[in-house]
Structure 1
Amino acid sequence: MSYQALYRAFRPQRFADVAGQEHLTTTLQNALEQKKFSHAYVFSGPRGTGKTTAAKIMAKAINCEQAPAREPCNQCSACQGIMDGSISDVIEIDAASNNGVDEIRDIRDKVKYAPSAVSYKVYIIDEVHMLSTGAFNALLKTLEEPPQHVLFILATTEPHKIPTTILSRCQRFEFKRMTMESLVARMNYVLQEMNMSADDTALKRIGRAAEGGMRDALSLLDQAISFSDGHVSDEAVMQMTGMASADALFSLVSTLHAGETASLLNTLEDMVSQGKEPQRILEDLIYFFRDVLLYKKAPAMEEFFQVAEAHEPFKEFVQKASEEWILHILHQLNESQNELKWSGNARVMLEVALLRLPAANNDLAVSPTKSQEIPEVQADIVSDLHKKIAALEKELAQVAKRQAAAPSVEAQAPQQKKRVRGQQLKVPTAEIQRMLASAEKKELQQIKNAWADVMEHIKREKISAHATLISSEPVAASEDAFLLAFKYDIHCQMVADNKNQVCDIIEDVLQRILGKTYRLLTVPQKQWQEIREEFIRTQREHSPEQEEADEEPIIAEAKKIVPEEWLEIKS
């Protein structure tokens, strides 16, 4: 394959080319120049920020024929060999796929041998947090006392998963997310090298979509170049990433501000028909209102806008919109974004979220510094409300007096409520006793073995039913029925009343999984113990011989060895 992806073709080969990590590269350069580098490093940070790149530059710098130097020369045989992978003394290991003890033991056995082609043997272990506990333990002693000719560089995106015993033996460097300026500057450099151009807004959109990762930014730029014809335009990036244009967002927000519901939904329909994802539209709206608030508080900071454009209509809109309304909209959009993540129909949820937002003529949009006269009709309504409030206050005062005069009634209230609750929860004791008479252990075991799959199916079909059943478990079963015991009475009542069709869902899922139809019975956990003990007592009274026959073999053997009064048998 002759073509290389941009993030590979333009991978930095010197510390000076590593964008946005000057706080790290300067430290490493000084250590190299003074020959005071450590035997082990941990490079941590978000994806695509240059961890593995810096590790390879470090491997070249310590083995360069011009060392000690702040930068590798990239011309000598050592630098060239490390760059093309022909020198076997620089070993890069992916811990995600080589995370066992055997792989680390192999490193520990080979680390004592001197390098064959360069001065230092360098081990770059990527995604080191994926190593198993045994692998970390195998690596521990080697990191503590490595040979003089070995350097370890551990790269990870999740440093909190690395044991502290490993971290304490390494120098730790935190790579940070790239700033927008660093991303745009690097992309402009790549475009100049390729004799291409791009709109500034297009590069900013790519930078925002990359979320601070240089590799992601260059991958998106590579895709945009293929989509464009010599010039990366803002429209091309919007189509490629699914982002909405500033004009479309401004139109959407303007109709929302004016309370024009029909225009709002038509604008949203146009955006969705152009291929914009609902999640992306909502995210862009949040950024747009952020830009509105930023311009309202600091008009001179237009260069920090994410999606908006500071044209005259935008400035007029900012003047009309109140700060309270903007903040309320941002809060509502943020909550809607969380709901949208778990929704099965994102388009409908986005429409509902936008329709719930208040227009500018609502109270939230009224500036507190502007006084408004209340119309006569509203004044009458307010007067009636004041009268009703006064009447309610008077009635509440009378109720308080009656309660003070009769404290015994109040003291009896909890017991009465308890009795009412007890009456509401009706347990089909007789039906459960009949089912227990024909219950079989193999039927119960079959249902228990399948119960995890049953709950998973119910969770996918109806999350509310899954939440109701999470504290329940099968406790008995016959050929045509099974009993479900609930930890909480309210959950038992909900299923018994078949709210949300929970019973139907359970029986349907069991029929699909086990191929048999079971009738569902429900009982609270506490009452189940009482019913079970009563059933066992009745069975013993009617058939003591059957009890001995049905006794578990292990219990019978225990009674032969240990006196019966010493035994405590639990189900």
Structure 2
Amino acid sequence: MPDTASDTTTGYQVLARRYRSKTFGEVVGQESIAETLERAIDRGRTAHAYLFCGTRGVGKTSMARIFAQALNVTDEQAEEVAVGDAILRGEDMDVVEIDGASNNGVQDARDLIANASIRPARSPFKIYIIDEVHMLSNAAFNALLKTMEEPPSHVKFILCTTEPHKVLPTIQSRCQRFDFRPISVARIAEHLTAVLGSESIEADEAVVLRVARLANGSMRDGLSILERVVAAADGRLDAALLERVLGVPPEDIVKDVASAIGAGDPAATLRAMATLLAEGLAPERALDGIAERFRLLLAARVCGDDPALLGTGSEESAALVEESSAFEAEQLVHMIALCDAAGGRVRVSASPRAILDAAVTRMALSERFARAASLLAGDVTVSSGATSKKKSLKVADSTRPTPPARPASPPVIESAPEAAPE
């Protein structure tokens, strides 16, 4: 990886491209797949077709290029380094990268089949990397079936997709499938910290961890988000800069909203929500921020002080545990569900603010709603300070007069059977 931005020779490159993995060991979070492919090459047991599945930005195309480089770069080549660099850039003549979204017709598949019969120019294999392969039409898939089942000995296919369920089962059965997992917050944060160190940029730990959480398991998304913050920075990266650049809900105001809800104070809740919206957030973004806060509080309430699980620093983790003591786990689950339901309605409503205010007020009054539900179910709640005792309505029923007992029916006497005549 380059040490600084000045190491590039063709102008500035975004972080996601400049710090793209170049060896199996650099692929973050997919060590088991990298190890399997390396062993297959060492033992000469590589298949003719592979299917790489996973969400965006987890290393599918990077792994495909690294795998192609390992297959096609040999010690006997006069231009060994040049060939390897060309493969990693996606510019090698023997490693053909095809965008399935724009080359999805049956004629494109027929052209591929025709070109596959031509032997590679300078490498052992001709490798086809088809990205977004699920975008191919059914006719194109069917045209490839025979070639993928029995390709020429010098041809290998690497198919990449974010939606494997759209790939025909007959294609999948001809491939070795590898499922790329979303990358953990800790691994993304670790890589982002290394990138910032290489760029000589200082950043607060909380900023790096929040960017890692916003990446949602995608390393490329994490680097892209970091790029936006770095571009706007004039020195150290801090929380205020991140919130201003990305337009995410400010954590201190979201904390005020959650605290007011936990205290059962609807007036303070609405005031804090008004402050949050004054930051220029759309109602649905505000609800997303509150739901994420409740998710962290739920994890802290159930699992305790666990920075690795929460994806936060040690100080923030301890603060979340203290804040979560105002809630029960059941409450937090219910509030997350309310945020999700209200978010769906807010996006299509002509009065999104009304739905937003009603949702957060409903959360703040959750204990009163629960008490009303208990009354309707037949329980009376008697509150005394912070202690609540429940009495069954059956106690009140015991004061009612007991209805008189019904008179017993007279016993029925069965007559003895008559004796038979002698």
Report the counterpart of residue 38 of structure 1 in structure 2: 47
Partners in 1 of 2:312 and 2:341 — Cα distance? 21
Report the counterpart of residue 224 of structure 1 in structure 2: 229
Partners in 2 of 1:164 and 1:314 — Cα distance? 46
1:334 paired with 2:343, answer no
1:163 is displaced (CA, Å) by 1.1
Report the counterpart of residue 486 of structure 1 in structure 2: none
**Using a 3 Å threshold, how does the CA distance of structure 1 residues 202 and 330 change in structure 2: closer, same or farther?**
same
| 1:48 aligned residue (46, 54, 57) | 57
What is the TM-score with the length of structure 1 in the denominator?
A: 0.61
1:279 is displaced (CA, Å) by 2.0
1:196 is displaced (CA, Å) by 1.0
Give secondary structure in 1 for the equivalent of 2:325. Answer: helix
Letter in 2 for 1:121: K
1:19 is displaced (CA, Å) by 0.4
Q: Cα deviation per residue 1:506-529 (whole Å; 9 max; x = unaligned)?
A: xxxxxxxxxxxxxxxxxxxxxxxx
Q: Cα deviation per residue 1:304-331 (whole Å; 9 max; x = unaligned)?
A: 3357964887655433434443343333
**Using a 3 Å threshold, how does the CA distance of structure 1 residues 362 and 312 change in structure 2: closer, same or farther?**
farther
**Relative to total residues, which structure has the larger helix share, 1 or 2?**
1
Q: Cα deviation per residue 1:461-512 (whole Å; 9 max; x = unaligned)?
A: xxxxxxxxxxxxxxxxxxxxxxxxxxxxxxxxxxxxxxxxxxxxxxxxxxxx
Letter in 2 for 1:228: A
Which one is further off, 293-302 or 27-36? Answer: 293-302
Partners in 2 of 1:287 and 1:250 — Cα distance? 11
Give secondary structure in 2 for the equivalent of 1:46. Answer: coil
User: Residues 359 and 365 of structure 1 are in contact (CA less than 8 Å); yes or no, is this contact kept in structure 2?
Assistant: no
Letter in 2 for 1:57: I
User: Residues 54 and 162 of structure 2 are in contact (CA less than 8 Å); yes or no, is this contact kept in structure 1?
Assistant: yes
Partners in 2 of 1:65 and 1:289 — Cα distance? 54
Letter in 1 for 2:343: Q
Report the counterpart of residue 27 of structure 1 in structure 2: 36
Which one is further off, 97-106 or 235-244? Answer: 235-244
User: Residues 41 and 154 of structure 1 are in contact (CA less than 8 Å); yes or no, is this contact kept in structure 2?
Assistant: yes
Structure 2 counterparts to residues 154-303 of structure 1, below 5 A: 154-303=159-308
1:219 is displaced (CA, Å) by 0.7
1:325 paired with 2:331, answer yes
User: Residues 250 and 276 of structure 2 are in contact (CA less than 8 Å); yes or no, is this contact kept in structure 1?
Assistant: no
**Using a 3 Å threshold, how does the CA distance of structure 1 residues 218 and 311 change in structure 2: closer, same or farther?**
closer
| 1:9 aligned residue (18, 22, 32) | 18
Report the counterpart of residue 148 of structure 1 in structure 2: 153
Give secondary structure in 1 for the equivalent of 2:44. Answer: coil
Report the counterpart of residue 357 of structure 1 in structure 2: 363
Q: Cα deviation per residue 1:281-337 (whole Å; 9 max; x = unaligned)?
A: 212222222322333333232443357964887655433434443343333233323
**Using a 3 Å threshold, how does the CA distance of structure 1 residues 151 and 176 change in structure 2: closer, same or farther?**
same
Partners in 2 of 1:287 and 1:281 — Cα distance? 10
Structure 2 unpaired stretches of 5+: 1-9, 375-379, 404-422
Which one is further off, 348-357 or 134-143? Answer: 348-357
Partners in 2 of 1:195 and 1:323 — Cα distance? 42
User: Residues 242 and 277 of structure 1 are in contact (CA less than 8 Å); yes or no, is this contact kept in structure 2?
Assistant: no
Report the counterpart of residue 125 of structure 1 in structure 2: 130
Give secondary structure in 2 for the equivalent of 1:116. Answer: coil
User: Residues 295 and 301 of structure 1 are in contact (CA less than 8 Å); yes or no, is this contact kept in structure 2?
Assistant: yes
Partners in 1 of 2:307 and 2:381 — Cα distance? 33
| 1:113 aligned residue (118, 132, 139) | 118
1:45 is displaced (CA, Å) by 0.7
Identity of counterpart residues, as a percentage?
Answer: 34
1:139 paired with 2:144, answer yes
Report the counterpart of residue 408 of structure 2 in structure 1: none
| 2:100 aligned residue (95, 101, 106) | 95
Structure 1 unpaired stretches of 5+: 68-73, 395-571
User: Residues 19 and 182 of structure 1 are in contact (CA less than 8 Å); yes or no, is this contact kept in structure 2?
Assistant: yes
**Using a 3 Å threshold, how does the CA distance of structure 1 residues 260 and 300 change in structure 2: closer, same or farther?**
closer
User: Residues 38 and 171 of structure 1 are in contact (CA less than 8 Å); yes or no, is this contact kept in structure 2?
Assistant: yes
Partners in 1 of 2:320 and 2:33 — Cα distance? 41
Which one is further off, 128-137 or 58-67? Answer: 58-67
Equivalenced residue count is 379
1:259 is displaced (CA, Å) by 3.3
1:236 is displaced (CA, Å) by 1.5
Q: Cα deviation per residue 1:10-41 (whole Å; 9 max; x = unaligned)?
A: 11111111100112111001111112111110
Letter in 2 for 1:264: T
Structure having greater relative contact order (Cα 8 Å, sep ≥ 6): 2
Structure 2 counterparts to residues 375-454 of structure 1, below 5 A: none
Give secondary structure in 2 for the equivalent of 1:176. Answer: coil
Letter in 2 for 1:352: A
1:9 is displaced (CA, Å) by 1.1
User: Residues 263 and 326 of structure 2 are in contact (CA less than 8 Å); yes or no, is this contact kept in structure 1?
Assistant: no
Partners in 1 of 2:52 and 2:299 — Cα distance? 35
**Using a 3 Å threshold, how does the CA distance of structure 1 residues 314 and 129 change in structure 2: closer, same or farther?**
closer
Report the counterpart of residue 427 of structure 1 in structure 2: none
**Using a 3 Å threshold, how does the CA distance of structure 1 residues 298 and 312 change in structure 2: closer, same or farther?**
closer
Give secondary structure in 1 for the equivalent of 2:160. Answer: strand
User: Residues 128 and 156 of structure 1 are in contact (CA less than 8 Å); yes or no, is this contact kept in structure 2?
Assistant: yes
User: Residues 305 and 318 of structure 2 are in contact (CA less than 8 Å); yes or no, is this contact kept in structure 1?
Assistant: no
Report the counterpart of residue 352 of structure 2 in structure 1: 346
User: Residues 125 and 156 of structure 2 are in contact (CA less than 8 Å); yes or no, is this contact kept in structure 1?
Assistant: yes
Letter in 1 for 2:349: S
Structure 2 counterparts to residues 511-550 of structure 1, below 5 A: none
User: Residues 127 and 155 of structure 2 are in contact (CA less than 8 Å); yes or no, is this contact kept in structure 1?
Assistant: yes
Partners in 2 of 1:277 and 1:306 — Cα distance? 26
What is the TM-score with the length of structure 2 in the denominator?
A: 0.80
Cα RMSD over matched residues?
3.3
Which one is further off, 214-223 or 193-202? Answer: 193-202
